[in-house]
Amino acid sequence: MKMFCEFLNESEGCKLEVSCFALKVGEVEEIIPLLEGKGFELTYIDGDSVYGKKEGNYQEITGVMKELKEQGFSWGEKE
């Protein structure tokens, strides 16, 4: 499952946190370069999960969110 966890839009900038868990074999190896390529700081990695956060301006973060939605990320299971 690839999910958005938190989106903060504050005067000093925006922050987006994502979590990817219960991933299938090989998905961790695909997610790591995807997130790093979009400027995420990876905060946790193990055999079937990856967590990360990214900070930036509103336009940058919402653009990244749109790109990640196309890669299967969502705010919940049924989105």
Beta pairing, strands 41-46 & 2-10: unpaired
pLDDT in tens, 32-79: 999 999 999 999 999 999 999 999 999 999 999 999 999 999 998 654
Q: How far apart are CA 4 and CA 41, in angstroms?
A: 14
Can you tell me the distance from the alpha carbon of 43 to that of 29, in angstroms, rounded to the nearest whole number?
15
The tens digit of pLDDT for each residue in 1-14 reads: 999 999 999 988 99
Please report, for the chain, the start and end positions of each structural domain, with discontinuous segments joined by +.
2-70
Architecture of domain 2-70: 2-Layer Sandwich (3.30)
Contacts of 54 (CB under 8 A, 6+ apart): 15, 16, 38, 39, 40, 41, 61, 64
Integer Cα distance of 38 and 41 in angstroms: 9
